[in-house]
Amino acid sequence: MDVKVKILRYNPEVVDEAEWKTYSVTLQPTDRVLDALHKIKWEQDGTLTFRRSCAHGVCGSDAMRINGRNRLACKTLIKDLSPDKEITVEPIKGLTVLKDLVVDMDPFFEAYRAVMPFLVTSGHEPTRERIQSQADRDRFDDTTKCILCAACTTSCPVFWSDGQYFGPQAIVGAHRFIFDSRDEGTEQRLEILNDKEGVWRCRTTFNCTDACPRGIEVTKAIQEVKRALIFRRV
Amino acid sequence: MQQHQYDVIIVGAGGAGMRAALESSKRTRTAVLTKLYPTRSHTGAAQGGMCAALANVEEDNWEWHTFDTVKGGDFLVDQDAAEVMCREAVDAVLDLEKMGLPFNRTAEGKIDQRFFGGHTRNHGEAVVRRSCFAADRTGHMILQTLYQQCIKQNVEFFNEYYVLDLLMTDGKASGVVAYELATGELHVFSAKSVIFASGGFGKVFRTTSNAHTLTGDGMGIVWRKGLPLEDMEFFQFHPTGLAGLGVLLSEAARGEGGILRNKDNERFMERYAPTVKDLAPRDMVARAMANEVREGRGCGPDGAYVMLDLTHLEPAHIDAKLPDITEFARTYLGVEPYTEQIPVFPTAHYAMGGIPTNIKGEALANNDDVIPGLYAAGEVACVSVHGANRLGTNSLLDINVFGRRAGIAAAEYAETASFEELPAEPEKYVVELVEGLRNSTGEERIAAIRSDLQATMDLNAQVYRTEGSLKQALVDLEALKLRFADVAVQDKGKRFNTDLLEAVELGFLLDLAEVLVVSALERKESRGGHFREDYATRDDVNFMRHTMAYREVDADGNETIRLDYKPVVQTRYKPMERKY
Ligand SMILES: Cc1cc2nc3c(=O)[nH]c(=O)nc-3n(C[C@H](O)[C@H](O)[C@H](O)COP(=O)(O)OP(=O)(O)OC[C@H]3O[C@@H](n4cnc5c(N)ncnc54)[C@H](O)[C@@H]3O)c2cc1C
Ligand code: SF4
Ligand code: FES
């Protein structure tokens, strides 16, 4: 079928302002939006620029705003987008656009790095593995699935209006360790998140949960971190 | 152009690159150059697990694991290297656990283990639970955990830097040249040690489990320097790719009890491998599937695939152990694995060959001599622990064991060596490569050439090969190379010029496809992943040896491929017929 794809193009080497361009592409209903972008790049306009790698939703490269919602281009099928109408594609919001659908990811990764996203332990290392029950392992399973795609953070109205806010992903990243029974860094991590740009900025709008392509209950994770801060215990 | 100097440069931030970085950056000044953000690397796509004889759920030991690795590799494995890998496997898994990797747990809270193809107890008696895993996201957890440790250790990354050339001075590695995606600027890095950890080249095939970015850059760079590539004819086709797409469904699906069926609903693997059935090594299962299709027992309107049946498994079990891959089936094929069988067909998966190294990760200039300062680890390398066919779960193991070893060796070498003077105009080759492409006035589309390359490779160099098919592939490749000389790059800009880089990557793919085909043509036998219908059996008299391919350029600039051979290291195990 013939599908119209409208893409917000921007190349600061050439123009000052972003502009919409519409392309006609022949696609299968089961094609992904990523296939549509590839067809445009490969057959019509080689200058169209976006990031991608795995093409099946595991590397986190291609979060973009598709029909006004943050999704992964490689995990969104054409048939699920009412393709009789124009499909719109634009970069995720709140991070500086560098070219077309490519945004500056550095502030996003900085926020992640800031929450100490690594196991903190003290004392002697055991000779074998640390023992952890499957129930304790399950406690933080949901947040281990994060692929750092930024769909959540860039769907958050608080993040849009205040670029200093850590954003939902960083809290997910912290949650993954705060609720890991092997970890001893909780106090420090909670202190970081107690910051004025930390968890308390969250307004519980659930945009992040809706956006997450891994099905992580992001808002719930944030609520759990807030509760841990209030009761200082996990 | 910018200049930088580091003791150790690591090219690639997948599992192998980051495991190396953790060792190297502890010891000496290290930088990691990666064309993707580290967490985008394809290690994150690995699903099923990482093997080690922990014996957490049943009796097991590293010697059995070594035997399975050697036999699985159809005896082309260098047995000293396999021993090292399987012995160090236990610590490699425990190290990851201590770094925080969230493995699935047993009832006692230890690391849980499950079945995987080709892994057996006591030299083939029965299947054994040896694969350590985190649901079907083991690679994701490894990649995240290593990245998290790199954050903790403050490892220095240059993200979205494409390394396009290796610098050599008097036969030693002396640095690399990289292209910065964001700006189009070139950077010259001088270094005492260079480690290639840049992954595989699955994109020479159309149906593949590999990412768009797996274009064999590291192998291509080394190749163009006249350094050898080993065993390039051995490419693994994984049995269970989603039909038509190639997206992988881990062997864990069969490890957890999944069954392959043909159109008569027959469990056909019982005919091909009576003992281990669906858990036979990948090359055997892939050929069996292709054969079912060829003989008219395939499923679907064109009879083009077979079915993976999980419907007898409890939905709760599927959700706990195979959540991601069942979601892939739902998302991309609209199939509900609880109640419906999933269409699958073999998909190009893993390069057994690559840059030859010894067990320290040092790259080889020929059969005997190391190249001072040059290292390789992970899928880009050929140690060779996988021989003619890699066992499932042995790659995640390989990247951890040999990534670590290469990181240590590179740092230790850098501590004693001094910086070599760089060649005059070190950036010259890359400037010519990049500007030549950018300014080309040709009219051939990158995507059209790549698509034709993948078509001929799928048709002529896949699960079944013959002299005729391989010669056809060579003819096609010649024509494609001519077209590539006329390739058009539409984006002439500096910023994020992915159009230009796709052209560069295609150049590497074309080179590597040719090495693969030429090596395959000369291997007139069938062994592991390399199956020749015209020479259907293994021939240990003539071919129990590694292929070493070299690029040679004569005075007139004509390129040829010269093949040489290297003996296989055998320690404990004598070759025997590979039956399961
Ligand atoms: C879908 C799938 C599932 C798998 N499942 C399993 C499994 O369950 N068990 C198992 O053992 N194995 C599995 N494998 C195999 C295994 O995952 C890979 O072989 C392994 O992860 C490769 O790791 P690597 O570090 O060598 O390369 P990669 O993880 O591919 O990393 C390559 C790195 O090199 C960088 N790079 C590449 N070119 C350049 C360049 N020119 N300049 C700079 N940087 C560059 C990239 O940015 C990237 O960081 C699976 C493979 C696939 C595709
Ligand atoms: S929580 Fe979900 S949406 Fe947010 S970065 Fe992680 S995977 Fe992406
Ligand atoms: S390309 Fe990897 S998540 Fe879409």
Asked, for residue B54, whether it belongs to a domain, the answer is no
What is the per-residue pLDDT for B281?
85
Averages of pLDDT over each 10 residues, chain A, 234 residues: 97 95 96 98 97 97 98 97 94 97 97 97 93 97 98 96 90 98 95 89 93 97 94 71
- Asked if the C-beta of A85 comes within 8 angstroms of chain B's C-beta atoms, the answer is no
Record the tokens describing residue B479, joined without a space.
């024509």
Domain containing B524 equals 428-531
What is the per-residue pLDDT for A234?
60
Q: DSSP letter string over A135-163?
A: HHHHHTHHHHT-----TTGGG-HHHHH-T
Report how far residue B197's alpha carbon sits from residue B363's, in angstroms, rounded to the nearest whole number: 12
SS (H, E, C) B436-448: HHHCCCCCEEHHH
Of the residues B322, B349, B376, which one is the last residue of a structural domain? Answer: B349
Residue type, B423: P
What is the per-residue pLDDT for A122?
93
Under a CB-based contact definition with an 8 Å cutoff, are residues A210 and A160 in contact?
no
Contacts of A30 in chain B (CB under 8 A): 332-334
Asked, for residue B446, whether it belongs to a domain, the answer is yes
Closest CA to B252 of B115, B134, B389: B115
Asked, for residue B118, whether it belongs to a domain, the answer is no
Of the residues B289, B324, B349, which one is the last residue of a structural domain? Answer: B349
pTM of the model: 0.97
Best residue for ligand 3 mutational test, from A41, A52, A70 (most atoms within 8 Å of Cβ): A52
Best residue for ligand 3 mutational test, from A32, A35, A59, A89 (most atoms within 8 Å of Cβ): A59
The CATH number for B281's domain is 3.90.700.10
Question: Which parts of chain B have pLDDT scores under 50?
Answer: none
Ligand 1 atom at minimal distance to the Cα of residue B200: 30
Number of H helices, E strands in chain A: 9, 7
Contacts of A102 in chain B (CB under 8 A): 496
Q: Could you tell me which residues are beta bridge partners of residue A6?
A: A22, A88
Closest CA to A85 of A61, A109, A68, A60: A68
Report how far residue B438's alpha carbon sits from residue B494's, in angstroms, rounded to the nearest whole number: 10
Asked, for residue B511, whether it belongs to a domain, the answer is yes
Other CB atoms within 10 Å distance of the CB of residue B128:
23
Under a CB-based contact definition with an 8 Å cutoff, are residues B362 and B374 in contact?
yes
The answer to whether the peptide bond before residue B190 is cis (omega within 30 degrees of 0) is no
Q: Is A74 in the pocket of ligand 3 (CB under 6 A)?
A: yes
Asked, for residue B571, whether it belongs to a domain, the answer is no
Name, in order, each residue with C-beta under 8 angstroms of A96's C-beta and a sequence gap of 6 or more. Answer: A103, A104
Report how far residue B79's alpha carbon sits from residue B66's, in angstroms, rounded to the nearest whole number: 8
Closest CA to B438 of B497, B518, B509: B497
Contacts of A46 in chain B (CB under 8 A): 446, 488-491, 499
Other CB atoms within 10 Å distance of the CB of residue B272:
18
Q: Is A87 in the pocket of ligand 2 (CB under 6 A)?
A: no
Asked, for residue B11, whether it belongs to a domain, the answer is no
Report how far residue B475's alpha carbon sits from residue B466's, in angstroms, rounded to the nearest whole number: 14
Sign of the torsion angle spanned by Cα atoms A107, A111, A114, A116 = negative
Q: Is A218 in the pocket of ligand 2 (CB under 6 A)?
A: yes
Residue type, B27: R
- Asked if the C-beta of A79 comes within 8 angstroms of chain B's C-beta atoms, the answer is no
Name, in order, each residue with C-beta under 8 angstroms of B195's C-beta and a sequence gap of 6 or more. Answer: B8, B9, B10, B11, B17, B20, B24, B361, B375, B376, B377, B406, B407, B410
Q: Is A62 in the pocket of ligand 3 (CB under 6 A)?
A: yes
Report how far residue A150's alpha carbon sits from residue A105's, in angstroms, rounded to the nearest whole number: 8
Under a CB-based contact definition with an 8 Å cutoff, are residues A125 and B98 in contact?
yes
Under a CB-based contact definition with an 8 Å cutoff, are residues B229 and B376 in contact?
no
Under a CB-based contact definition with an 8 Å cutoff, are residues B199 and B14 in contact?
yes
Q: Whose CA is nearest to atom 31 of ligand 1?
A: B14
Of the residues B349, B367, B396, which one is the last residue of a structural domain? Answer: B349
The CATH number for B440's domain is 1.20.58.100
Asked, for residue B361, whether it belongs to a domain, the answer is no
Smallest Cβ–Cβ distance between B328 and the set A53, A56, A125 belongs to A56
Count of domains for chain B: 2
Record the tokens describing residue B571, joined without a space.
């320690």
Q: Per the CB < 8 Å rule, is A55 touching B212? A: yes
The H-assigned helical ranges of B192-268 are 217-224, 252-255
What is the per-residue pLDDT for B400?
98
Q: Which residues of B are catalytic?
A: 282
- Asked if the C-beta of A213 comes within 8 angstroms of chain B's C-beta atoms, the answer is no
Asked, for residue B325, whether it belongs to a domain, the answer is yes
Rg (CA), chain B: 23
What is the per-residue pLDDT for B503?
98
Under a CB-based contact definition with an 8 Å cutoff, are residues B28 and B35 in contact?
no
Report how far residue A46's alpha carbon sits from residue A23's, in angstroms, rounded to the nearest whole number: 13
Together in a domain, B338 and B433? no
Report how far residue A108's alpha carbon sits from residue A18's, in angstroms, rounded to the nearest whole number: 22
Domains of chain A by range and CATH?
A: 2-103 (3.10.20.30), 106-231 (1.10.1060.10)
Q: DSSP letter string over B448-510?
A: HHHHHHHHHHHHHSSSSB-HHHHHHHHHHHHHHHHHHTTEE-----STT-HHHHHHHHHHHHH
SS (H, E, C) B94-145: HHHHHHCCCCCECCCCCECEEEEEEEEECCCCEEEEEEECCCCCHHHHHHHH
What is the per-residue pLDDT for A198?
87
Other CB atoms within 10 Å distance of the CB of residue B549:
22
What is the per-residue pLDDT for A233?
63
Q: Per the CB < 8 Å rule, is A117 touching B445? A: no
Report how far residue B72's alpha carbon sits from residue B276's, in angstroms, rounded to the nearest whole number: 13
What is the per-residue pLDDT for A76?
97
Q: Detail the residues of B annotated as belonging to a binding site.
A: 12-17, 34-49, 217, 238, 250, 349, 379, 390, 395-396
